Amino acid sequence: MNKHLAVIILAAGKGVRMKSQLPKVLHPIAGRPMLGYTLDLARSLKPKLEICVLGHQSRIVRDYIEKEKGKVKIVIQKKLLGSADAVKQTRSILRHFRGTVLLLYADNPLVKPQTIKNLIRYHQQAHAAGTLLVATLDKPKGYGRIIRNSAYDILRIVEEIDAKEHEKDSKEINTGICCYNKERLFSMVFGFFTLLNIILNYILIIRFGFMGACYATIFATGLGFIFYTYYIHRHLSIAFEGVKHGKEKGKD
């Protein structure tokens, strides 16, 4: 067991673009609900705590998790206010934990364990407040861009719809997967952005910019290929993932 590691899996979203009554995270890839792959990934890291945040159709998703027979603690996000609010729901479970909190997403099912192990190692060796897994794409259209300054520090992460033309030239994109120092994580979630919760949807990754403004040590590292950080948004991407997963199994 890694007593200095806790994993939060975000699995609360509706998946509106899926146009389905089935919870997004239970849509199958290669015959298995995509959430199952993320649970396997978390389990392989042997964390002290493994927490899954549920929301939309939580009862159905909970039933699936219980069938997996893991030691997963479940919390419910009653109002779907975004990823930072989802993380807030885990505070009571993590109140006595000290160490690194890894944030994973249930709709990103094919991340390789070694990529995440490298991310955790990089984060802990750097004694960073936060470390974000990024990827570089030749065609980054549709993804949030990483914006850096001349010293290569992260300034902010901007969604494409909000990006200026010169910011869209950045080929470095945000995967959303990140490690946080636990104390820094909750000081942000319950601090600065709580004041703005009336006008802002809670988007956790924005906090990397805020942490930089507070002179925390922030890193972004590209440790994996984009295939392994490909998120599921529509049925077409599920088909793509299923084909790729089959090929990867053949290689193994």
Positions marked catalytic? 17
3-state DSSP assignment of residue 109: coil
Q: Is 241 exposed, middle or buried (0-12, 13-18, 19+ CB in 10 A)?
A: buried
Rounded Cα distance, 53 and 87, in Å: 8
Q: Fill in the amino acid letter for 101.
A: V
Contact 229, 175 (CB under 8 A): yes
Pairing of β 73-76 and β 47-54 = parallel
* Residue type present at position 33: P
The CA distances from residue 19 to 15, 16, 24, 198, 234, in Å, are 8, 6, 9, 28, 8
Query: CA–CA distance from 202 to each of 8, 75, 84, 156, 218 (Å)?
Result: 16, 17, 5, 15, 20
| Closest by Cα among 104, 68, 44, 82 to 228 | 104
Q: In whole angstroms, give the CA distance from residue 67 to residue 193.
A: 37
Yes or no: say if 30 and 242 are a contact pair by the CB < 8 Å rule.
Answer: yes
